Chain A
């Protein structure tokens, strides 16, 4: 899921690069790290909106940048519901009706599982540098550590819904601090903050991310990694429609 990229904006540093390619390096780190070759995670998601709060538990598998599978374990009402992302398509398996539905393009901006993530967030998992041009806009010191603000502007031919994204990256700990998403009119749409740093497989990574929509600051979606492991050996066939139904 899209969240994976952002959570993955972690510390895969091999020392502080000081060359002009620095910004690109940071972004590549973000892209590369959570993708690895593959990953497997247990995640809980908490959603709070003006109308409901809900908690879910799910398992997430990913391989490369084009394949991921999410299977809901809780609540019981939705247990077994699975989302498969394969290239640009999203399929949802609905155990209640025993059907698999491919989401149409019109549904892409709709909410994923009642969260503040859109289905589009799941699909857009290409590399940041493919879709955006990046440049440094500021270097500041926050809580004694240096952070860099990087502005990402979509390339003309990129299918991106945002006007721009401003990423704040902690250059000492090599972890992302937050992403601020703007629409085409330059208004903030949502803010994603990263916290819960934990060393996993030798690298410091934020285990918790929180999305807050700008028009409803009291609402949020929290995405908490409870367990994660990388470079598992997962066959391509695991991410197939046929496997979607299986537990």
Chain B
């Protein structure tokens, strides 16, 4: 007897029920695929804004700088250090930091003055491509400054307007200089948005009387498949007497959040698919009870309990496969659509931030292979699990008893 044929044929018996059940399954699957794409997109933004705009993937500091940043705790020979890191398959950029007060007109604000090594920095971070207005720094324009988004608003300055910055130079003197706004960055994160005052390395050294050294070296892997932990260890080996940390060590909260996004996904998957399983269980059970007499006859004709269960399984499986295809088609295309056009959240919030990392008001999804395959396969698995009980129920039917039913 061909159990597969019987199973599939039963699908057509109650078309409306089959349609509703399959749609429910497909809907659940599609939602999960879309959810995975949303999470992947979220992680991308997080990574891009936190790592590729600011932190890099690993950082080197003078011992104690991170605990208590101060103008004098510098990496002695940053150029050497940068080339050593480059030898390890990293791209690295030295950075200089100081604090000061920026003022324009009647407004003033505390700022973090950041001395940027323009040529190196663009290999490490994408800040030069992240401008809202104007242009990124250029070593040939030492009086140019690029400001964080909120800082520009606080100071109420527009492009090419003047900003004066006041600070204490390394020799104790009063550092002050006029800069001209060259560019204004898009949102990156709270710290840079509120206090980012980017000037060229040369301008920084002249302003704060810091002839040598750097406060930080930020680096990223050239090849993203290199193991970050191994690279960090290798970097620690060449950066003797300095403190080397990967972004996971620098921002453990974010690292943990990235790691647990898989858990979040599994949790959502569990809840959604539990509901789907209920629907499937209910529908299949009904379908089995409707056909008690039929199963009784089959059994009387010598079909084994296993054969009966098979019929039920095949019936559910056929629906499951159809639902899975539907889920992939729908989930994939919705995700793909928002991968291109994004979900505009600007009406809900403008420039939201999470843990100091800025989020664009437009949320882009990202379709990944595992983001499609995982929800799809688990859908099929869940559906089959839901068929166990009705299948077993059908299998244990006593023929004589069953044939009483009409």
Q: Are the C-beta atoms of B173 and A77 separated by less than 8 Å?
A: yes
How would residues 96 to 121 of chain B score, 1 for a CB under 8 Å from any chain A CB and 0 otherwise? Answer: 00000101001011100000000000
Residue from B72, B103, B168, B174 within 8 A of A99 (CB atoms): B103
**Number of chain A interface residues as a range:** 20 to 34
| Identity of the chain B residue whose Cβ is nearest the Cβ of A52 in the assembled complex | B172
Q: Are the C-beta atoms of A101 and B166 separated by less than 8 Å?
A: yes
Give the distance to chain A from B120, nearest Cβ to Cβ, in Å. Answer: 27
Residue from B101, B108, B109, B172 within 8 A of A114 (CB atoms): B172
CB contact under 8 A between A114 and B176, given known A101-B108, A101-B166: no
Chain B positions within 8 Å of A97 at CB level: 164, 176-178
Residue from A54, A81, A107 within 8 A of B101 (CB atoms): A107
A141 at the interface (CB under 8 A from B): no
User: Which A residues from 88 to 116 make CB contacts under 8 A with B?
Assistant: 92, 94, 96-97, 99, 101-104, 106-107, 110-111, 113-114
How would residues 39 to 66 of chain A score, 1 for a CB under 8 Å from any chain B CB and 0 otherwise? Answer: 0000000010111111000000000000
Q: Are the C-beta atoms of B172 and A106 separated by less than 8 Å?
A: no
Give the distance to chain A from B191, nearest Cβ to Cβ, in Å. Answer: 14
Give the distance to chain A from B71, nearest Cβ to Cβ, in Å. Answer: 8
Q: In the complex, A58 Cα to B174 Cα: how many Å?
A: 14
CB contact under 8 A between A101 and B103, given known A92-B166, A106-B110: yes
Give the distance to chain B from A149, nearest Cβ to Cβ, in Å. Answer: 33
Residue from B170, B172, B176 within 8 A of A94 (CB atoms): B176
B171 at the interface (CB under 8 A from A): yes
User: Which B residues from 162 to 184 make CB contacts under 8 A with A?
Assistant: 164, 166, 168, 170-174, 176-178
Q: In the complex, A53 Cα to B177 Cα: how many Å?
A: 23
Chain B positions within 8 Å of A81 at CB level: 174
Q: In the complex, A66 Cα to B156 Cα: how many Å?
A: 30
Q: Are the C-beta atoms of B101 and A94 separated by less than 8 Å?
A: no
Q: Are the C-beta atoms of A101 and B101 separated by less than 8 Å?
A: yes
User: Which B residues from 330 to 373 make CB contacts under 8 A with A?
Assistant: none
| Identity of the chain B residue whose Cβ is nearest the Cβ of A107 in the assembled complex | B101
Give the distance to chain A from B103, nearest Cβ to Cβ, in Å. Answer: 4
Q: Are the C-beta atoms of B177 and A96 separated by less than 8 Å?
A: yes
Give the distance to chain B from A245, nearest Cβ to Cβ, in Å. Answer: 14
Chain A positions within 8 Å of B109 at CB level: 104, 106
| Identity of the chain B residue whose Cβ is nearest the Cβ of A83 in the assembled complex | B174
CB contact under 8 A between A54 and B178, given known A101-B101, A101-B164, A107-B110: no
A78 at the interface (CB under 8 A from B): yes
Q: Are the C-beta atoms of A94 and B168 separated by less than 8 Å?
A: no
Chain B positions within 8 Å of A101 at CB level: 101, 103, 108, 164, 166, 176
Residue from A50, A77, A106, A110 within 8 A of B168 (CB atoms): A110
Q: In the complex, A51 Cα to B170 Cα: how many Å?
A: 7
| Identity of the chain B residue whose Cβ is nearest the Cβ of A99 in the assembled complex | B164
User: Which B residues from 65 to 105 make CB contacts under 8 A with A?
Assistant: 72, 101, 103
Give the distance to chain A from B21, nearest Cβ to Cβ, in Å. Answer: 63
Q: In the complex, A98 Cα to B166 Cα: how many Å?
A: 12
Chain A positions within 8 Å of B166 at CB level: 92, 94, 101
Residue from B103, B106, B172, B176 within 8 A of A96 (CB atoms): B176
User: Which A residues from 105 to 143 make CB contacts under 8 A with B?
Assistant: 106-107, 110-111, 113-114
CB contact under 8 A between A54 and B173, given known A102-B108, A103-B108, A104-B109: yes
Cβ contacts A to B, 28 pairs, < 8 Å? A49-B172, A51-B72, A51-B172, A52-B171, A52-B172, A54-B171, A78-B174, A92-B166, A92-B174, A94-B164, A96-B176, A96-B177, A97-B164, A97-B176, A97-B178, A101-B101, A101-B164, A101-B166, A101-B176, A102-B103, A102-B106, A102-B108, A103-B108, A104-B101, A104-B109, A104-B110, A113-B174, A114-B174
Chain B residues packing against A (C-beta within 8 Å) = 72, 101, 103, 106, 108-110, 164, 166, 168, 170-174, 176-178
Excluding A97-B176, A101-B176, A102-B106, 15 further A-B contacts by CB distance (< 8 Å) are A50-B72, A51-B171, A52-B172, A75-B173, A78-B174, A81-B174, A97-B177, A97-B178, A99-B164, A101-B166, A102-B103, A103-B108, A111-B168, A114-B171, A114-B174
